Amino acid sequence: MANSIEQRKSEHIQITLNEKVTGESISTGLESFTFIHNALPEIDFDEISIETKFLGFDCKTPFLISSMTGGTALAETINRNLATAAEERGWALALGSTRALLDSDGHSSSFLMRKYAPSVPIIANLGAVQLNYGYGVEECRKIIGITEADMLVLHLNSIQEVIQEKGDTNFKGLLKKIEQLCSTLEVPVGVKEVGWGIDGQIARKLSEAGVAFIDVAGAGGTSWSQVEKFRAKDPIRRVAAESFSEWGIPTAESIRLVRGEIGNCPLIASGGMQTGLDGAKTIALGAGLVGFGRSILKEATQSPEDVLEVMKIREMELRMAMFGIGAPTILELKGTPRLTER
């Protein structure tokens, strides 16, 4: 089990870095939105603040490093570089799936990032389906204790599990177990997709079950059906996976669907985020944090300095967008009437 998990995680990293793992015709939908330029913003660019709050945490930026990896030697390097940079710039940090932390003795240190990021919010991550495969409140408490995380997010990845060899595909009765975990665990519990989005109806059910936040992780970025396609040894699953390259709810549409159904739930926008301008659009649509994943993965394999350079660019792009519409704070960006659909 341990070696198979480590091998899978290593393959995920290499495939995501080197193969085409996005759809051809599906996008985030953010290209359909544009800001109305304000030629006279009446604000000082140097006074623009991108500080925000999320679930009571003071955040220097509204940006999040999305859950990516863990459980391998390369993952430890990646996460250490990300955590070091996150601490310096004040980005929240989400860990890769921590199932490997409890199922394997190898590379557990790839999840122990608190020493590198002592002041930023850290989000531990576990597949929701594992609640049907022996994981429960005590295992989640152990994950939180080991990682010193501030929150837990349960990821939903049904299509991926079908394509993955020996995937865990029993998603029956999970909502009740999520509800039990939310009411028992001492830290906030959120739910995220892995790249196919969450609709309003599901968001409503999750909110009513006590979920503290939702990460839409919409379509338009990494498709995990395509990642698993490159790993699949079964020709049936490999060919079937290709049919799902365009599957999912685009990120922009997912945000609108969730916001339309539950207006006050803390929301993270991820899935295909490439620029700070993308981030500004999702915040204007109603997101509280913006998650970046594969778009900073290459830099994360290299050094904290490479990650920091990308972070600074994303922050500059966000500030420029805010200056361009005359929004001096994230709160005013959230309420701007200057985002329009083409």
Report the distance separating Cα 87 and Cα 109, nearest Å.
18
Ligand-binding annotation for 98, yes or no, is yes
Query: Is 125 labelled a binding residue?
Result: yes
Is position 67 annotated in a ligand binding site?
A: yes
The answer to the question of whether 222 is labelled as a binding residue is: yes
Cβ atoms of residues 91 and 300 within 8 Å: no
Beta carbons of 189 and 211 less than 8 angstroms apart: yes
d(CA 14, CA 204): 36
Per-residue exposure over 72-81, b if at least 16 CB sit within 10 Å of its own CB, e if not: bebbbebbbb
- Closest to 95 measured CA to CA, from 73, 124, 116: 124
Q: Which two tokens stand for residue 307?
A: 């990650």
Residues 155 and 131 sit within 8 Å (Cβ to Cβ): no
177 is in an annotated binding site: no
Report whether 160 belongs to an annotated binding site.
yes
* Length reported for the chain: 342
66 marked as part of a ligand binding site: yes
Total Cβ atoms within 10 A of residue 286: 17
Q: Is 97 annotated as a binding residue?
A: yes
- H helices of the chain, in order, are 2-18, 73-89, 99-103, 137-147, 158-163, 174-184, 200-208, 224-231, 235-242, 251-261, 276-285, 297-300, 304-325, 330-334
Q: Which helix (H) or strand (E) holds 53?
A: strand 52-54
SS3 category, 268: strand
- Helices 251-261 and 200-208 pack at an angle, to 10 degrees, of 50
61 belongs to an annotated ligand binding site: no
The reply to whether 69 sits in an annotated binding site is: yes
Closest CA to 284 of 220, 335, 237, 243: 335
d(CA 323, CA 159): 41
Cα 167 to Cα 4, 75, 197, 225, 300, distances in angstroms: 12, 21, 20, 12, 28
Feature table: binding site for FMN: 66-69, 97, 125, 192, 222
Feature table: binding site: 8-9, 66-69, 97-99, 125, 160-161, 192, 222
Feature table: binding site for substrate: 8-9, 97-99, 160
